Amino acid sequence: MGLFDDAVPGGKIGKPLMIALGALLVSKMLGGRREQSDPANPQTQTPGSEDGGLLGGLDGLLENLKTAGQGDKADSWVGTGENKPIQPNDLGKALGDQTVKELAAKAGVSEEELLKQLSTALPGVVDKLTPNGNLPKKEQVAAALNAA
């Protein structure tokens, strides 16, 4: 049994979803905090980051969710109580169009399928990564995803 098998309804996380989770939370080749980039000024764009995935790792993902009005859901995933669900469209808004496109391309699935799978998996995965309500270090997230 993998680390995240009981994190998602129905059990095992498929390879496309693991690819998307890795790119979102820990990928060094897709990284960079999007809010630090200014498309009008390419010199301010952040290249691949050693700090985490597309949104700056787990911390960046949670911050984007809070900024998008989904903080109560994100907090429930980190907290020790029940995990609140998130709708695929709400998750898509929090991630942003460009991140969704990059994740879908990396995972080899449609954007709709990606959001459907991520919205189902993220509450349980974040819950597993944050035992006792504590955020892990980026290295711990990478190790957990590699072990799954």
Classify residue 17: in a domain, yes or no: no
Residue 109 — very low, low, confident or very high, per pLDDT cuts 50/70/90? very high
Over range 104-123, report the average pLDDT. Answer: 92
Does the residue 50 lie in any domain? no
The percent of the chain in helix, strand and coil, each rounded to the nearest 5, is 60, 0, 40
Is residue 65 domain-resident?
A: yes
Tell whether 125 is covered by a domain.
yes
For 58-108, write each residue's pLDDT tens digit: 888 899 999 999 999 999 999 888 999 999 999 999 999 999 999 999 889
Which pLDDT score is estimated for 71?
95
pLDDT of residue 47: 33
Concatenated DSSP letters of 73-113:
HHHHHHSSSPPPP--HHHHHHHH-HHHHHHHHHHHTS-HHH
β-sheet bridge partners, residue 41: 38
CATH at 97? 1.10.10.690
pLDDT of residue 147: 62
Q: How many domains does the chain have?
A: 1
Q: Does residue 90 form part of some domain?
A: yes
Q: Give the Cα separation of 20 and 37 in Å (integer).
A: 21
Residue 45 domain-assigned?
Answer: no
pTM summary value: 0.71
Q: What is the pLDDT, as a whole number, of residue 97? A: 92
Instruction: Read off the pLDDT of each residue in 39-52 and give the average, rounded to a whole number.
Output: 38
Of 6-20, 41-55, 83-97, 116-130, give the lowest mean pLDDT range: 41-55
| Residue at 8 is within a domain | no
**Within a domain: 3:** no
In this predicted structure, what is the pLDDT of residue 125?
87
Q: How confident is the model at residue 44 (pLDDT cuts 50, 70, 90)?
A: very low
Residue 116: which domain range?
A: 57-142
Q: Which two tokens stand for residue 125?
A: 């995965």
Which range has the worst mean pLDDT, 6-15, 27-36, 71-80, 103-112?
A: 27-36
